Amino acid sequence: MKFSLLKNIKHLLEAAGAWTLFGILHYLLPFKAASNFGGWAGRTVGPRLSLSNRARSSLKKCFPNITSTEVEKIVAEMWDNYGRLIAEYAQATRFWDGKNLRNIEIKGAQHLKEFQDDGKPGIIFTAHTGNWQMITLAAQSTGFDLTQMYRTANNPWVDTLMLKCQKLAVKNVITKKGGGPKDLLSLLKRGDHALLLVDQKMGEGMAVPFLGRDAMTAKGVARLYLNQGCPLLPARSERLSDSFFRVTFYPPIDFTPQGDQQKDMYDLLLHINNQISEWVKERPGQWLWLHRRWND
């Protein structure tokens, strides 16, 4: 009973802070000021949090020759990016208001168009790089509405806010809790398209190298490709400066199964992890190093 009360008080305090911050970013600050404030707060406070030690440790293990100065620079860039991302979530309609696309450059639009018009359901996969929500906004600007899988927050009041922000950037959302995977499969069977972020740590899955180290990797996206013939389109968001982005849609994954289910799944997931690893290596300060991506 005491634990439950303390938990509820903690959740209320967290929610009060989150909703207050949202109100400031969404209603009070102009867009550029909100982004700059988010970046400043991120790089000022973030590196001082104990959570950042996880990022430092992972950077040193993934890049053994990296210097301490380089580590601190990447950690600061990561927090700057994350702080700006929070502000941008609160003002997502500034990028796409249903008529005009702003601050987003699109590359590989032909791949998205072909993906949309091939008569098949499909999954666009991406990672926590840049501001991944720019991918859904870029797609919407071409007339392509995506459904996004959303991970429910532990705090129900914060979750309400996160879902509100999510729906500023994507029209259709399904949650990972409850019937999420079944909802995703039903969506694909209807011939629709979804966006999945596939770089998070999984308690279950398959150990596949990611940035040179085995990481438990979700099998779902590989199963959909191998068992359902569901096309997979890589997409990447890069922050070019402040709140200006490049969204790149790559050609669909071209992978030929060899008939061994486990090996095919491993090889396909390795292909996907290698793709994301290259994005991270090119812009390490734009990937969210805070995840417990590796077992150690």
Model confidence pLDDT, tens digit, residues 274-289? 999 999 999 999 999 9
Q: Is residue 3 predicted with pLDDT exceeding 70? A: no
The confidence score (pLDDT) of residue 10 equals 87
The confidence score (pLDDT) of residue 2 equals 55
The confidence score (pLDDT) of residue 1 equals 53
Long-range contact set of residues 248-252: C-beta below 8 Å, sequence gap at least 24: 248/106, 248/107, 248/108, 249/106, 249/107, 249/108, 249/109, 249/111, 249/112, 249/115, 249/124, 250/108, 250/111, 250/275, 251/108, 251/111, 252/111, 252/115, 252/122
Q: Is residue 165 predicted with pLDDT exceeding 90? A: no
Q: Is residue 162 predicted with pLDDT exceeding 80? A: yes
Q: Is residue 201 predicted with pLDDT exceeding 80? A: no
Model confidence pLDDT, tens digit, residues 213-260? 999 999 999 999 998 899 999 999 999 999 999 999 999 999 999 999
Average pLDDT over the chain reads: 92
Q: Is residue 97 predicted with pLDDT exceeding 80? A: yes
The confidence score (pLDDT) of residue 39 equals 97
The confidence score (pLDDT) of residue 187 equals 87
Q: If residue 124 lies in a helix (H) or strand (E), which one and from where to where?
A: strand 122-126
Instruction: List the structure tokens of 163.
Output: 């879902």
Across 98-119, average pLDDT: 96
Highest-pLDDT range among 168-177, 193-202, 277-286: 277-286
Burial of 237 (0-12, 13-18, 19+ CB in 10 A): buried
User: What pLDDT band is residue 204 in, cutting at 50, 70 and 90?
Assistant: confident
Across 264-273, average pLDDT: 97
Please tell me the pTM assigned to this model: 0.93
Q: Is residue 271 predicted with pLDDT exceeding 60? A: yes
The confidence score (pLDDT) of residue 6 equals 79
The confidence score (pLDDT) of residue 8 equals 83
Q: Is residue 79 predicted with pLDDT exceeding 70? A: yes
Query: Any idea where the domains of the chain sit in the sequence?
Result: 2-286
CB distance 194 to 187 below 8 Å = yes
Across 100-121, average pLDDT: 96
The confidence score (pLDDT) of residue 233 equals 98
More confident call, 162 vs 151: 162
Model confidence pLDDT, tens digit, residues 22-69? 999 999 999 999 999 999 999 999 999 999 999 999 999 999 999 999
| DSSP-assigned letter for residue 214 | E
The confidence score (pLDDT) of residue 241 equals 94
Of the candidate CATH numbers 3.40.1130, 3.40.50, 1.20.120, 1.10.3470, the domain formed by 2-286 belongs to 3.40.1130
More confident call, 294 vs 270: 270
